[in-house]
Amino acid sequence: MMKTLVENFSKQLTEAIAIGNAAKLTSGKNKIGNVLVCGLGGSGIGASILSELVINTATVPVNISKGYFIPGYVNENTLVIVSSYSGNTEETINCMNLAIAKNAKVVCVTSGGKIKETADEKTLDCILVPGGMPPRACLGYSLTQLFFILNFNNIINDTFKADLQAAVKLLDEDRNNIIAEAKAITEKLKNKIPVIYATTYNEGIAIRFRQQLNENSKILCWHNIIPEMNHNELVGWTTKNNDLAVLIFLDRDEYKRNMARVEINKEVIKHYAASITEVYSKGNSAIEKAMYFIHLGDWVSVLLAEARGIDAVEVNVINHLKSKLAKI
């Protein structure tokens, strides 16, 4: 099932664009001074990616809450986007209620559940996406709606629409190459602990890949960002460990100082890790490049699950956690 969902990512993006174009949104009473996106896991990672993709174009700050609470600055001038695929994420529901109490402009992205019920009760804007799938397999739906919501509220322009359409075309045309590259990366990661690096404004991509390896491949790994890791983690590379495989996400037009750092880092790390693999994005815009990285990483996660002989869909330990919490 998960492999099929990954295969259909470009189709999901196309459907998500149609949903966004048809969404019935309303203008708030007050001028928006800041944005807060509330969501966790597969429903929250879109916010992490979005905040970096719009950092140079958004007219107001775009921040994220991945817990039970919202920042003190939230008020009637805040746009709060509530993102929960199931509509029943308890942390996000708590954030939603707090935002409503503070008279924020609340917009929901969900497939139903309690969040849809509250949106109906309070007459809040709500974009419905198709349900019945693992939240992590629906990033195309949720992330796309965030762009549309920001655009409707005049926080970003509408160039994202053409960029998303170009991303769909890129993923479809490059499908075989993406799968081939994913297979090559999977071979490097077999029986290893992945160490994921990316550069500034690509942390959301690194986090997404880490989370997909956690949930789909059922393995532990970690990520860090260049240049930040040059001020701490690099010092930790002091002992040879053949269980570690390094993967670095990069752009062809990467800032030259970051590329210089990457080369120096590789000179240090190569003495201690089993392998170092550089992965370069494709596409012309930041959105195209992000969608390429996301799709490639998703493929690696399901291929690695296959190689390990495990079910990429099951998340029994998360269900166990939720059942325990429900009793408290």
The model's pLDDT over 198-224, given as tens digits with 9 standing for 90+, comes to 999 999 999 999 999 999 999 999 999
Is position 223 annotated as part of the catalytic site? no
pLDDT digits (tens, 9 = 90+) for 44-103: 999 999 999 999 999 999 999 999 999 999 999 999 999 999 999 999 999 999 999 999
Is position 215 annotated as part of the catalytic site? yes
User: Considering 24, 29, 231, 256, which one is annotated as catalytic?
Assistant: 231
DSSP 201: T
pLDDT digits (tens, 9 = 90+) for 152-184: 999 999 999 999 999 999 999 999 999 999 999
User: Considering 122, 183, 240, 322, which one is annotated as catalytic?
Assistant: 322
User: Which pLDDT band, with edges at 50, 70 and 90, does 22 fall under?
Assistant: very high
User: Considering 215, 254, 288, 295, which one is annotated as catalytic?
Assistant: 215
Is position 233 annotated as part of the catalytic site? no
Instruction: Report the C-alpha gap between 98 and 71 in whole angstroms.
Output: 10
Q: How far is CA 316 from CA 91, 111, 112, 217, 313, in A?
A: 20, 22, 22, 14, 9
- Report CA 287 to chain centroid distance, whole Å: 12
Residue 10: predicted pLDDT: 98
Secondary structure tally for the chain: helices H, strands E: 12, 9
Residue 106: predicted pLDDT: 98
